[in-house]
């Protein structure tokens, strides 16, 4: 999960840039379950 946390920090810092999300998608393409959980967590976090 360390890689996911790092990517989350990057997205948090650069949330304005949608390409960061796509980069994370490419990075996690081998594990879509983790990616979906990651995106869900990010969305929930930004809604608060």
Q: Give domain status of residue 31, yes or no.
A: yes
Q: Give domain status of residue 28, yes or no.
A: yes
For the chain, what is the domain count? 1
Q: Give domain status of residue 14, yes or no.
A: yes
The pLDDT assigned to 31 comes to 66
Please indicate whether residue 48 or residue 37 has the higher confidence score (pLDDT).
37
* pLDDT, tens only, 15-44: 555 555 556 666 666 566 777 777 788 778
pTM equals 0.34
- The rounded distance, in Å, linking the Cα atoms of 1 and 17 is 23
Q: Give domain status of residue 48, yes or no.
A: no
Range of the domain at 6: 2-43
| Cα angle for residues 38, 48, 43 (degrees, 5° grid) | 25
Q: Give domain status of residue 9, yes or no.
A: yes
Q: Give domain status of residue 24, yes or no.
A: yes
Q: Give domain status of residue 6, yes or no.
A: yes
DSSP assignment letter at 46: H
């Amino acid at each position: 999960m360390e890689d996911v946390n790092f990517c989350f920090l990057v997205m948090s810092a650069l949330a304005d840039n949608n390409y960061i999300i796509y980069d994370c998608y490419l990075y996690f393409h081998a594990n879509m379950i983790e990616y979906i959980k990651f995106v869900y967590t990010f969305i929930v976090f930004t809604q608060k």
